[in-house]
Amino acid sequence: MDEDYPANLIELEERFTTEGACERYLVSLRWPGGFVCPRCQRKGAWASRRGLLICQACQYQASITAGTIFQDTRKPLRLWFRAIWHITSQKNGASALGLQRELGLGSYVTAWSWMHKLRRAMVRPGRDRLRGTIEVDETYSKLRSC
């Protein structure tokens, strides 16, 4: 288990108040030993405009969310993190309608598609929840590209 994961809703709310906080958390999960450039394999990057890391050596622009279920989302990461929290905390299973209400999503279709994305990503028991969404989705991405 990842001890870095918030223990309860209060911790989640206090910790992920900004997109920057969510992005830093994703970065720490994807590159636990620090960012390594996928192009030149060197370490070190600047955080650029929303969601991008720029390699200090070769200026390669790496998207923090590329290859995760958050890729290309137009919704804030803060909302996604709360969706994950909501789904994992419903003992009897979350519903798309419940998720829509909880997050104030305008569209039921959006809530339904988030439910399915997140459920698919959280199939492995015993995984840290946010970490699981990232790792599993990378596996799916690799399978798709085969």
The binding site for Zn ion (CB under 5 A) comprises 37, 39-40, 55, 57-58, 60
- Measure the CA–CA gap between 80 and 22, rounded to whole angstroms: 10
Decide whether 15 or 42 has the Cβ nearer to Zn ion.
42
Long-range contacts of 13-18 (CB under 8 A, 24+ apart): 16/77, 16/78, 16/81, 17/78, 18/78
Distance CA 55, CA 89 (A): 37
| 55 vs 134, beta carbon nearer Zn ion | 55
Minimum CB separation of residue 58 from Zn ion in Å reads 3
Q: How far is the CB of 112 from Zn ion (least distance, A)?
A: 39
Report the residue number, 21 or 27, with the smaller CB distance to Zn ion.
27
Least distance between Zn ion and beta carbon 27 (Å):
16
